[in-house]
């Protein structure tokens, strides 16, 4: 995944990615994204990923998002 692809995916799924220099290296970046099929409701499934780099957390969040989507697809 390139940086451009990561930004495109984040925009597409309306994810949020945060950077905090104060954190330990493995927690400097955080990706937060609503899982596919979720509706705005307190019981939503949220994907939360911590990592060392922007690409790392975006790639991991996308993998979890795709995994959740494939689970939903099997049930529908």
Q: Give the angle subtended at the CA of 26 by the CAs of 5 and 38, to the nearest 5°.
A: 55
Q: Distance between CA atoms of 33 and 25, rounded to whole angstroms?
A: 21
Residue-wise pLDDT for 17-29, tens only, equals 999 988 888 889 9
Residue-wise pLDDT for 17-63, tens only, equals 999 988 888 889 999 998 877 555 555 788 999 999 999 999 999 99
Which runs of consecutive H residues, i.e. helices, occur in the chain? Answer: 3-13, 54-75
Q: Distance between CA atoms of 63 and 61, rounded to whole angstroms?
A: 5
Q: How confident is the model at residue 68 (pLDDT cuts 50, 70, 90)?
A: confident
Please give the model's pTM, rounded to 2 decimal places: 0.81
């Amino acid at each position: 995944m390139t940086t451009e692809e990561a930004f495109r995916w984040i925009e597409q799924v309306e994810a949020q990615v945060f950077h905090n220099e104060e954190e330990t290296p493995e927690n400097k970046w955080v990706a937060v994204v609503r899982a596919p099929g979720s509706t705005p409701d307190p019981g939503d499934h949220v994907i939360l990923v911590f990592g060392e780099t922007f690409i790392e957390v975006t790639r991991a969040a996308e993998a979890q998002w795709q995994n959740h989507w494939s689970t939903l697809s099997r049930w529908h």
